[in-house]
Amino acid sequence: MSKKKIICHPEISMAFPYEHSKIKEMKEQYWIKRKSGDIYLDNKPSFKTFHYNELIVELHHEVYEVSEDTFQLLESIEVNEDDTALEIGTGCGLIALDCARQGAKVICTDINPYAIELVKRNYLRNQSMLKGTVEVRFGDLFSVLKSDERVDIAIFNPPYLPTISEERIGGTGWFDIATDGGVDGLSLTKRFIEEVGKYLSKQGRAYFVFSSLSDRGKLDAYLSNVELKSKVVSSRLFNDEQIDIYFMYF
């Protein structure tokens, strides 16, 4: 699948996309700005936006920005019109909006209240471009779904960076939550793998992101313990890590 074109508004300057090897530097700069007062803990529109296909997507300083893995995941997802899709950890909502643009009925979730409000704004900004629908829910993983709800596609770009307590920046914690995969990088990925099969339709499938910085041996063990089959559908090298997109299916 060809790479989508990304166009930034001319009035902004955007380091884009980020390299994962610079995550530590990003955290340090973020915390310096927080302490200096350059970042304020409010939820006013940030007016930092970018174009993706016909979409115009706003960003916010308390919501982790899209990166290489976001677009790699987007390019790997096959969406049919009228599919019901669930995106967990939606962030700015780009993936949810692009699925809806193609006609899917999307439920997108996050535990970051700034992300929830940001997605709502981005939905309103792009509503005329969408063939499908977007419903925004606040919650953790599959807790947002009713026991009898099923989806055709589940999508998750989890926090996957192996992280120890000394590497967390503190503050409101939203940057940590967006990147912190626990000691092995798989704390939320494991839960996703174990639970996703309960919420997929008979023809359902799931996509998630994995980094080679995480423990692949543990990942293989988790995947071998569930009913769903799995395979890697995309792999790319970014400096010191490989990003894989895993596809799970019955």
Q: What b-and-e string marks burial along 38-65, b requiring 16 or more CB atoms within 10 Å of the CB? A: ebeeebeebebbbebbebbbbbbbbbbb
pLDDT band at 177 (very low <50, low <70, confident <90, very high): low
pLDDT for the residue 19: 38
Question: What is the pTM for the complete model shown?
Answer: 0.79
pLDDT grade for 185, boundaries at 50, 70 and 90: confident
Q: For 138, phi and psi rounded to 5 degrees?
A: -95, 120
* DSSP summary character for residue 54: T
User: pLDDT by residue (tens digit) across 111-169?
Assistant: 899 999 999 999 999 999 999 999 999 999 999 999 999 999 999 999 866 655 554 55
pLDDT at residue 65 is higher than 90 = no
pLDDT band at 225 (very low <50, low <70, confident <90, very high): very high
For the chain, the structural domain boundaries read: 6-249
What pLDDT is attached to residue 182?
A: 67
CATH-assigned architecture of domain 6-249: 3-Layer(aba) Sandwich (3.40)
In the prediction, which pLDDT does 210 show?
96
